[in-house]
Amino acid sequence: MKGKAIVFFSVYILSGLCGYAQEATQAPHFSHADTLRGSLNPQRTWWKVLRYDISVQPDYGTKTISASNTITYRTLASGSQTMQIDLMAPLVIDRIVDGFGKKVAFRSIDSGVYHLYIQPTSRNASGGPGNTSHEGMTRSVTISYHGKPIEAVHPPWEGGWIWAKDALGRPWMSVACQGLGASAWYPCKDYQGDEPDSGASLSITVPDTLTAIGNGRLQSRTSRGDGLVTYRWEVKNPINNYDIIPYIGKYVGWHSEYQGEKGKLDCDFWVLDYELDKARQQFKQVDTMLRCFEYWMGPYPFYEDGYKLVQSPHLGMEHQSAVAYGNHFANGYLGKDLSGTGWGLLWDFIIVHESGHEWFGNNITTRDLADMWVHEGITNYSETLYTTCRSGVEAGNAYCLGTRNKIRNDKPIIGYYGVNNKGSGDMYYKGGNMMHTIRQIIQDDEKFRQVLRGLNRDFYHQTVSSEQVERYISLHGGRDLSKVFDQYLRTTLIPDLQYQVKGTSLQYRWASCVPGFDMPLKVKVGADVYWLEPVQQWKTLPLKTADPGQVTLVADPNFYVTTHKME
């Protein structure tokens, strides 16, 4: 910990009291645009996205795109409605028509937010236009637009459209927009809680010297006869807005099949032509990754759309069924072990981490960005599970514990709701160590494994809240973990076990914690192991050792806690 966090921590330890950590700074200022983007409103709640059909033609020379998106939706209310659509400047909407070709009026109401004025039109019995609109109807709007999309400055962290060149100076294009939002390059309901239930298609028109790749399966490759070719890709499953991504470059590919829990899984790999030999060798790790993750987390969630690994002009991203890979065909994270233990150099971080998101992030998606720990914390822990699968429990434990030096405890992991705000970057390493702690509390790896598999089964292709995931883990883990989640997700404090030895007895209690914190803890006193059930009041335990004054208490390092001997 750094600076003010240390002061806070010391005060709580010395007082022996429990309470929520208070932020040293005020809550950030959020704009009206943040609320429009991050929350539901009457312009969003009356309709449900069913499908996106996107067509895009990039112009590499001018860094512009000409595109359209047909949004198919289901009405949840009757009559005329105002629809909110998000599209970030400097992209410009040219024209909007409904499913019958009728022009739809629209206007900009805030930065990147448009209102469309949808009239009650439907087909009558004879097949012609009618004049009624009812709840439960399937309708569509097609939005034509053009312009210069936000350009990525430092993808994937500062995202947008990527206009890169490969090592031979040839065009290499893609998009990375998690956090920034898919509306950076196509019009949509840019809200994580509403995924297109019937999937999406992406048609990409490029010079015939290049190859274009999208999510899911290739449906067609059509030559236009003018030096251009259109690739059409399609996913059948629901998909996050930010996961729908084009890759354009001098790609070559190969195909393999993985025999998984649900049968044959089509696996495809796309890399720049001059990287083929290195890629074939490095991507052999995919089979092991799939085997380990299917064991721990359940069947790969998108058999219908296949699995793809696509070389990208940035480090990597979890684009559903088309995972972005930019780790230079080397193990570790850009050649480094993030745990500092050596175990992270035995596998390719981007293959493992970004593919882990197919389970947590893509299969299970949080409605609000504030709950992003469900994506990143559990996927971070998938790295530990993978290390365990490959090298054993002790190796996995060591890897997880080695990442603790990256925890900052700067602010709570859960962000502010309704304003498209994510919490601390500790959602990765602290989130992973929280999951490791919960695994110790459950004391049964098979039960823990079934919790992870159950999450992916019972929330299959769904959007969820953190509270839903927390309740599920508590229910199926066999213990109320609500205070554990409050502690690690909603404060910056590390729970501290205060203890003292009096005679032949151990006295102990929790401090630096939320009210009601009652997490069990495995400790070693001398040569003896105990499971304690601390609360905020002192409890007493008779010790087995004949000379307790000469021994110290050591908490099981697999729990993310501190200990403090009281004098």
Write the pLDDT tens digit of every residue in 76-104.
998 889 999 999 999 999 999 999 999 99
pLDDT given for residue 127 in this prediction: 46
Q: What is the mean pLDDT of residues 232-250?
A: 98
pLDDT in tens, 492-527: 999 999 999 888 899 999 999 999 999 999 999 988
Query: No. of H helices and E strands in the chain?
Result: 12, 28
The pLDDT, as a whole number, for residue 78 is 84
Nearest residue to 159 via CA among 382, 385, 312, 377: 312
Number of domains in the chain: 1
- Residue 128: the pLDDT is 46
State residue 18's pLDDT score.
Answer: 56
Q: Is pLDDT at 146 greater than 60 in this prediction?
A: yes
Place of tokens 């009812």: 134
> 162 pLDDT band (50/70/90 cuts)?
very high
Report whether 474 contacts 482 (CB < 8 A). Answer: yes
Structural domain includes residue 176: no
By percentage, how much of the chain surpasses pLDDT 70? 92
Task: Please determine, for residue 241, whether its predicted confidence score (pLDDT) is greater than 90.
Answer: yes
Question: Is residue 145 pLDDT above 90, yes or no?
Answer: yes
Q: Decide: helix, strand or coil at residue 390.
A: helix
CA angle 533, 539, 543 (to 5 degrees): 85
Residue 475 lies in a domain: no
> Is there a domain that residue 397 lies in?
no
The answer on pLDDT for 21 being more than 70 is: no
pLDDT of 121 higher than 90? no
For residue 560, the domain's CATH number is 2.60.40
Q: Please check whether residue 334 lies inside any domain of the structure.
A: no
Q: What is the mean pLDDT of the chain?
A: 93
| Residue 27 falls inside a structural domain | no
When pLDDT is cut at 50, 70 and 90, the band that residue 400 belongs to is: very high
Decide if 267 contacts 322 (C-beta within 8 A): no
CA 195/CA 182 separation, integer angstroms = 12
Mean pLDDT lowest for which of 244-258, 442-456, 545-559? 545-559
Nearest in space to 563 (alpha carbons), one of 517, 513, 484, 495 = 495
Query: Above 90 in pLDDT, residue 406?
Result: yes
Confidence of residue 35 (pLDDT cuts 50, 70, 90): very high
Between CA 427 and CA 413 the distance in angstroms is 5
pLDDT at 133: 63
Asked if the model's pLDDT at residue 126 lies above 60, the reply is no
Distance, first Cα to last Cα, the chain: 24
In a domain, 506, yes or no: yes
Q: Is the pLDDT of residue 546 over 70?
A: no
pLDDT of the residue at 14: 36
pLDDT at 549: 61
Asked whether residue 25 carries a pLDDT value surpassing 60, the answer given is no
Q: Which domain covers residue 551, as residue numbers? A: 496-565
* pLDDT surpasses 70 at 7: no
**434 Cα distance to chain centroid:** 17
Q: What is the pLDDT of residues 170-221, one digit of tens each?
A: 999 999 999 999 999 999 999 999 999 999 999 999 999 999 999 999 999 9
Please check whether residue 406 lies inside any domain of the structure: no
552 in a structural domain: yes
* AA identity, residue 146: H
Question: How large is the C-alpha radius of gyration of the chain?
Answer: 26
Q: Is pLDDT larger for residue 504 or for residue 313?
A: 313
Interatomic CA distance for residues 370 and 414, integer angstroms? 5
DSSP string across 132-177 = ---TT-EEEEEEEEEE-PPBPSBTTTB-EEEEEE-TTS-EEEEEE-
pLDDT of residue 80: 82
Structure tokens at 229: 């070719």
Between CA 214 and CA 223, with CA 218 as vertex, the angle to 5 degrees is 95
The pLDDT value given to residue 237: 98
Helix (H) or strand (E) holding 295: helix 285-297
Q: How far apart are CA 164 and CA 174, in angstroms?
A: 8
What's the whole-model pTM score? 0.93
pLDDT at 521: 98
Containing 308, the helix (H) or strand (E) segment is strand 307-311
Contact present, 215 and 245 (Cβ < 8 Å): yes
Arithmetic mean of pLDDT, 393-422? 97
The residue type of 96 is I
Residue 3 reports pLDDT greater than 50: no
Q: What is the band of 4 on the pLDDT scale with cuts at 50, 70, 90?
A: very low
